[in-house]
Homo-oligomer: A and B are copies of this chain.
Amino acid sequence: MVTTPRIAIDAMGGDEGVRVMVAGVALARRRHEGLRFTLFGDEAQIREALKNHPNLSQAAEIVHTDQVVAPTDKPSQAIRQSRGSSMGLAIQAVKDGKVGAAVSAGNTGALMAMAKLALRTLPGIDRPALTAFLPTLGENDVVMLDLGANTECDARNLVQFAIMGAAYARVVLDVERPRVRLLNIGTEELKGTDEIRDAAAVLRSANGLPFQFDGFIEGDKIGSGEADVIVSEGFAGNIALKTAEGTARFVTDVLRRAFTSSIRSKAGFLLSKPALHLLKVHLDPNNHNGAVFLGLNGMVVKSHGSADEKGIANAVHVAARLVEEDLTARIAEDVARVGPMMSEEMIAK
């Protein structure tokens, strides 16, 4: 492992440009003073952006490249043509052990494909999963996976996701024994697809899990705080994530219309503004930015393309925590301990 924690940054990936990427990294560094960074991308642009952040300049090295993965590049195209891009080089640095993690706000499909090819899955893990936080009414956020890396998953994948998600929750949410549930269209045992029912059967009967399996959860309870980890195949997981984002925006749009519909309601808005700030904090996707590809031999964190400075800082903070806590090793340990038991159970089926 890396001795001084260092993180690779794809400086060219975000929609908002190099300036915002660099500002976000500088902001994150204030929370992690020991961290060092390697910034991949156009050297002149990066140097220009660093001028405003002397505290980051001294902790950052730059690796120049003028190749960039475009948002419209297909994953297969990126794999063939973009090894020398800012994204490709950042992933390669993880593979070479030069950094503990890479952060990119670029093309998700390309990032996923390149990371999978370069880093390979951990022993005992068949597929990586895209993992993120969602806000809840409870004390903690909830960890949700897979959010779109795999459109179809078998029971074995889902069980592996549960193990990985729980390890992630222990590290990042600081929950000792995470409560894990499978996303389903009902809570009765007979609900859902064969894959989900089989995964539930394995998780229910397994002994010595480093988490608590609480059965199924429906879409309307994702934000209830009843679970620390919600496991899903990637199609439904992505639909749930996006639907939650869309609905939150829908409600705030209706609210905005309501508050500007009359002078009276405008006055009400002004009075309530400090309180409404709470809603903004809760719903701002920047506060939950930083999705991780779990299950690879190395950490890759995906930021929203449209993240602002604070959002980028959050994604870098997630990467820093994963490096500091050596999550890859922890997942590998959990899989080594729980995995063989799982396999027997599932072969026995």
**Cβ of A141 to closest chain B Cβ, rounded Å:** 12
Please choose the segment from A10-18, A45-53, A213-221 that sits at the chain B interface, where 4 or more of its residues have CB less than 8 A away: A213-221
Q: Are B250 and A279 in contact (CB under 8 A)?
A: no
10 A–B contacts, CB within 8 A, in A order = A151-B185, A185-B242, A219-B238, A222-B246, A235-B236, A239-B239, A239-B243, A247-B247, A259-B272, A265-B271
What's the number of copies of this chain in the assembled complex? 2
Complexed CA–CA distance, A18 and B255 (Å): 36
Chain B residues whose C-beta falls within 8 Å of the C-beta of A265 in the assembled complex: 271-272, 274-276
A interface residue numbers (CB < 8 A to B): 74, 135-137, 148, 151-152, 183, 185, 190, 192-193, 218-224, 232, 234-236, 238-255, 257-259, 261-262, 264-265, 267-279, 282-283
Complexed CA–CA distance, A185 and B151 (Å): 9
* Nearest-neighbor residue (CB-CB) of A221 within chain B: B246
Interface residues of A: mostly helix, strand, loop or mixed? helix
Complexed CA–CA distance, A60 and B283 (Å): 49
Among A193, A235, A247, the most chain B Cβ lie within 10 Å of the Cβ of: A247
**Cβ of A223 to closest chain B Cβ, rounded Å:** 4
Q: Are A193 and B268 in contact (CB under 8 A)?
A: no
Q: Are A279 and B254 also in contact (CB < 8 A) when A151-B193, A185-B148, A239-B240 are?
A: yes
